[in-house]
Amino acid sequence: MRNTTAPAGSDLLEQFRSYMDDQSMSAETIKSYLGNVSRYFKWCGESFGLPPENLYRTNVKDFKSYLQNIKRFGPSTINYYLSALSKFNEFLIEEELQSDHVVSKNDYISIQTPVTNPWDGEEKEVRAFLQQVLTSKGAFSVRDYALFTVIAYAGLRNSETVGLLDSDADLVAGRS
């Protein structure tokens, strides 16, 4: 790390703006990232009485906790703040104001997107269909019944269902 002090907060943000502009980031992304980093600066000032000169891993983790527990922001909003801080961290390293990466991929909150079931029928129709499969007296009716039950109630795709192994399910506890 170069032995210089970081410019004052507003100067540093202006340099960060230029850095992102040089990377051809969109005007909206630049505006949003600057806002998020400014809010981080404000949080640091309120928390420690000083604007940050560097990013520290501990502070990033504390800020994430603040966003989750005090501000009660959702995962995608928190991840956007972390993206802004990660880009800011990249800028500090490139400007030789800092040498270490302090925002980790593990800091991001995984977001589960709900799977939409393509079936738009009634539960009664599903049960009737499953009963027809079970009573079809075919050589594979019990197997087919099990496959269709998993597809209907677990929301798995055909390929995922066919690829299931015994070790993928806990039949005693009734979960996978």
User: By residue range, what is the domain housing residue 33?
Assistant: 9-107
Note whether 102 and 139 are same-domain residues.
no
Note whether 14 and 100 are same-domain residues.
yes
Domain assignment present for residue 21? The answer is: yes
Query: What is the number of domains present in the chain?
Result: 2
Note whether 95 and 33 are same-domain residues.
yes
Model confidence at 3, pLDDT cuts 50, 70, 90, reads very low
> Any residues with CB less than 8 A from the CB of 158 and at least 6 apart, and which?
151
pLDDT for 146 equals 81
pLDDT for 168 equals 76
> Any residues with CB less than 8 A from the CB of 166 and at least 6 apart, and which?
none
* Residue 3, φ and ψ in degrees, nearest 5: -90, 65
Q: Which of 5-14, 94-103, 124-133 bottoms out in mean pLDDT, i.e. has the lowest?
A: 5-14
Count Cβ atoms within 10 A of the Cβ of residue 67 and give its class: 0-12 exposed, 13-18 middle, 19 or more buried. buried
Give the domain CATH number at 33. 1.10.150.130
Note whether 95 and 141 are same-domain residues.
no
Domain assignment present for residue 63? The answer is: yes
Domain assignment present for residue 175? The answer is: no
**Rg of the chain over all Cα atoms, to the nearest angstrom:** 26
Q: What is the pLDDT of residues 152-162, one digit of tens each?
A: 777 777 778 87
Q: What is the pLDDT of residues 14-65, one digit of tens each?
A: 999 999 999 999 999 999 999 999 999 999 999 998 878 789 999 999 999 9
Domain assignment present for residue 132? The answer is: yes
Domain assignment present for residue 4? The answer is: no
CB-facing half-sphere around the CA of 160: CA atoms within 13 A = 10
Model confidence at 151, pLDDT cuts 50, 70, 90, reads confident
Note whether 23 and 81 are same-domain residues.
yes
Q: What is the pLDDT of residues 82-123, one digit of tens each?
A: 999 999 999 999 999 999 999 999 999 988 766 555 556 677
pLDDT for 101 equals 94
